[in-house]
Structure 1
């Protein structure tokens, strides 16, 4: 193929992949995000845009190992009944609907900082619906709080969401280097989330919760204790400067050494689709780079403009909503300069994560909450989400821009 044909083929593949990622499925075939990631990667190799050997080299296996290992840790908490245990204690000790909203936001934000927010939403959504049903409380504002806070809380560390895990692996920044920059703005974001939702759903949040007796959930306290201690080891070792790949994989391996839990129970709780999506995207973006198409894109978004932090923030937020967070990070990584790279990596992690709250399609975590809610006859519309998510994202992005500019002085 000629260079023009290679560029055109890479553009068509990338466009098709991004279309499916935006819609969540193909408009013509029964293809989901994982399927299109596989098809796109194979097409890149099949058309000769990138060789198989070069495609293998594009995959960041550090990110894949971290993702898998964190899924093993969270799977053990799920099997042990940790999230139902939290739900039981919340229902027993929280008495007002407004306080329940605050607890949900704080719980979602804190848990999402140290475990992948998509998985936290997957596990906590049924718990919150259960609490609201038992407490005779409208679940809508609380589910909104879960989704919004999970995105904001996940921005606090390089363990909170898939794109931050990727950025942590690519940037080589330490846990504390990023955490010290992110945590003040994340705390402000969680407070703003509560205030916005409390105002938007003032009537729904009036009154007390009904406390009915219910059957206590199954809880394996030994497994909960073992898993939490392992998670502390992983985070503590990471903070101490040890390689995050080594610490997370050691933690996962340790939890698999057991006489009480069947391995298949752990494996069925792992989101292999997400791992496949990552591997496929690495190859697709590698193919785009190999084709020379990226050089054409850079003429539309020149490095001089992208060096401006405000413009970089705008592109990060818009692109993250158009093509999803992970593809956006994979494309924008090439705009990280050698000089002052730490600030740009931190900015990319924060802006691409906060962008998840702009629209209901802005992050996988949002869609997980919406889909589980729908199965329980609770409808969260795009308009309903947008009226809170849009102003929250705009204000938080602006505050984040001011904070990063201040730190750069």
Structure 2
């Protein structure tokens, strides 16, 4: 069955790179699920092996963060924060700085995908009302969300996997990775403000005073307080508790116990497609890593490439994140790679996340931002994004590489 495992693995990750299988209307989630089913039906893996390969701890924490984001959305927090951003009494450059700071900060304690999904439509309508081109602001939201999410273990899905794999310490991770995350945010601002592609789009226009929008609605205070308390609880769990998954699921249970929000409202915003994608990829990569010959072959290649060197890890992260995607890349490297030291895991988290800013396909957050912008009438082409994403990513990675090399 070795040949079948390799063939399915290659087919699934080929689909991850293209985003579909040619001639079929199927996305990455469907590809991963079909790949897992082929292995199960062919007997390449049995039910017990498939279940054992699924990292339920990572899925539990990811589900918790999704439910937590749902609580924030239901409270009206995202609508309110988006409205407040666009009505800041600032120049266009100041407004851009505010967008980057707020989106980056929120993404450090929530999943970056949710922040982009919630903020982008409101931001577009606000900047258009101010006579500004929304394109650089949409790209700023995506890039800032990616960069900010690199700072913590709960900022994005790949960091959650790395955290569970290495049982990393939350505070130590924050101390190491917040520096390149901050550098990434500053780089986003610098490229957008001083880059030749967007300098003219941020020309001075009439200001709109803070609080001038009479239609702004304040968040529901009790629901927002509950969401903030749950966020603090999740962070404390990551700092103080070893068995994080069960305690995080307890947070889910507490959020489900509500007099005002029905279960369907809380769970309706959960990205079940992403969870299914994870399950499929866990089974496919688990089959590869479970075969000693295949796993040993891949491990020898990565050792030969000296993956323990930060510069090599940067190259792999940049290439992999913008072909198969940063989540599948991280899952593959953790399953098939050599022994991972703590410093290597820190580097993988930072480099794979910052690499996601390179092209639209580099991160789910980028795709969400572009799709949300298109729905609002703002079309951002592959080239539009790349003109900003490429320099942002290369500068961020060089600076991050310098930092990680310095502290290693």
Q: TM-score, normalised by structure 1?
A: 0.93
Structure 2 partner of 1:355: 355
d(CA) in 2 for partners of 1:356 and 1:235? 24
Q: Does 1:205 align with 2:202?
A: yes
Partner of 1:230: 230
Structure 2 residue aligned with 1:3: none
Q: How much does 1:209 deviate?
A: 4.9
Change (3 A) 1:125 1:37: same
Separation of aligned partners in 1, 2:80 and 2:193: 26
Gaps of 5+ in 1: 1-5
SS of the equivalent of 2:202 reads: coil
Tell me, yes or no, if the aligned pair for 2:112 and 2:365 is still in contact at 8 Å.
yes
Query: Take 1:352 and 1:75, find their aligned partners in 2: how far apart are those partners?
Result: 26
CA deviations over 1:85-129 (Å, ceiling 9, x no partner): 112322333332111111111111111111111111111111211
What is aligned with 1:22? 17
Write the deviation string for residues 234-279 of structure 1: whole angstroms up to 9, x where unpaired.
2134234454324432222211111111221111111000000001
1:308 corresponds to 2:309: yes
| 1:172-211 deviation line (CA, Å, top 9, x unaligned) | 0110121110011111111111010112311111113553
SS of corresponding position for 1:301: helix
Give the aligned partner of residue 117 of structure 2.
Answer: 122
- What is the root-mean-square deviation in Å for CA atoms of aligned residues? 1.9
Partner SS, residue 302 of structure 1:
helix
The structure-2 alpha-carbon separation of the partners of 1:341 and 1:246, relative to structure 1 and needing over 3 Å to count, comes to same
Q: Deviations over 1:300-348 (max 9, x none)?
A: 433562232211221122112221111111221156654x710011111
Q: Which runs of 5+ in 2 are unaligned?
A: none
Q: Give the one of 64, 82, 85 matched to 2:80.
A: 85
CA–CA separation in structure 1 for the residues paired with 2:159 and 2:264: 28
Q: What is the deviation of 1:214?
A: 4.9
Given that 1:303 and 1:335 are in contact with CA atoms closer than 8 Å, whether structure 2 keeps it comes out as no
Partner residue in 2 for 1:328: 329
Q: Secondary structure at the match of 2:361?
A: coil
In structure 2, what is the Cα distance between the partners aligned to 1:242 and 1:115?
20
Q: How many residue pairs are counted as aligned between the two chains?
A: 402
